[in-house]
Structure 1
Amino acid sequence: MDVMTSLRVSTPFPAASELRCWTLDRFGELRGLRAALREAIAQVPAAAQDDLTDKVAVVATELATNALRHGLPPTEVRLLRQDDRLIIDVADHDLEAVPRLAEGRPLGAGGLGLQLTRTFAIDVGWYMTEDAKHVWASFPG
């Protein structure tokens, strides 16, 4: 049985600085996003650990996939940093849909991107601006 729950609504890290930003219009651009993220994280002192880089890349890909599949393009993926945190912030332009976690869904049934995000990240949430819905995840970095 699927149980749908909402993510916590919160704006993350207002003093975070943007390290990189990518705009995606198609699923085919996800591979390039992963490679560019790995390259960007490698430039961050004390953050370029393989395990962390892999987790950030998986989460960014999952959130961007959700935004491309369920949101309105273009999808914007930002890599941010504040103090000892790296933050992935993924935005789309669907202001009607609230991000929901599918709990109790069997593997292979889809909808596990937000579950993976909660597993790999320190903290996860979402917020809206005037023209976009953002889902974010933070990592030690």
Structure 2
Amino acid sequence: MDQQLVTSPPPPDATELHVWILNNSTELKHLRAALREALTRQELTMDEHGSEIADCMVLVATELATNAIKHGRPPTEIRLMRTEERFILDVADRDLSKIPELAHTRPIDAGGRGLKLAMDMSLQVGWYAGPTTKHIWAAFARRGS
């Protein structure tokens, strides 16, 4: 069964922990290091497969931010949030003219695999539009199962 992209904001009880602003892809290396550092300050444990939740979050953040930089309008904002049970990554760009598309709905050479990767590596992925920004978010367990 194919996972669906949820059309809604992230959980309303999510508390913002950190925000990064990127203007181009050269800043992705800084994002990866800063996100990993921010996650080490949180209660983070290993998941049931023995890989760190942080590794998945850094990869998904990189993929979603790359998509926003490549296909959106700068600046790109990446927010790390948390609820009691989950971490939330929220990536925003300023191109309201395009809605997120899953790769299987596009030609094979058109790209778009980052959203599929996010869906495969997270608990849930959603998107919503604000007055000036389009957001894609992904939720991750705060503790391994």
Taking structure 2 as the reference length, the TM-score comes to 0.86
* Contact 2:101/2:112 (8 A) holds in 1: no
Q: Which residue of 2 aligns with 1:42?
A: 40
Alignment of 1:9 onto 2:7: yes
- The offset of 1:7, in angstroms, is 2.9
Q: CA 1:19/1:29 → structure 2, altered by over 3 Å: closer, same or farther? A: same
Alignment of 1:125 onto 2:126: yes
- The offset of 1:12, in angstroms, is 1.0
* Contact 1:79/1:88 (8 A) holds in 2: yes
The root-mean-square deviation of aligned C-alpha atoms, in Å, is 1.7
Aligned residues, how many? 134
CA distance in 1, matches of 2:45, 2:20: 20
Task: Give the letter aligned to residue 122 of structure 1.
Answer: L
- The offset of 1:103, in angstroms, is 1.5
- The offset of 1:8, in angstroms, is 2.4
Alignment of 1:20 onto 2:18: yes
For residues 21-69 of structure 1, the C-alpha deviation after alignment (integer angstroms, 9 at most, x for no partner) is 0000010000110011110001111x15452000000000000000000
Q: Which residue of 2 aligns with 1:81?
A: 82
Q: CA 1:53/1:72 → structure 2, altered by over 3 Å: closer, same or farther? A: same
Taking structure 1 as the reference length, the TM-score comes to 0.89
Task: Give the letter aligned to residue 119 of structure 1.
Answer: D
Q: Which residue of 2 aligns with 1:33?
A: 31
Secondary structure of 2:103's counterpart equals: strand
Q: Which residue of 1 aligns with 2:103?
A: 102
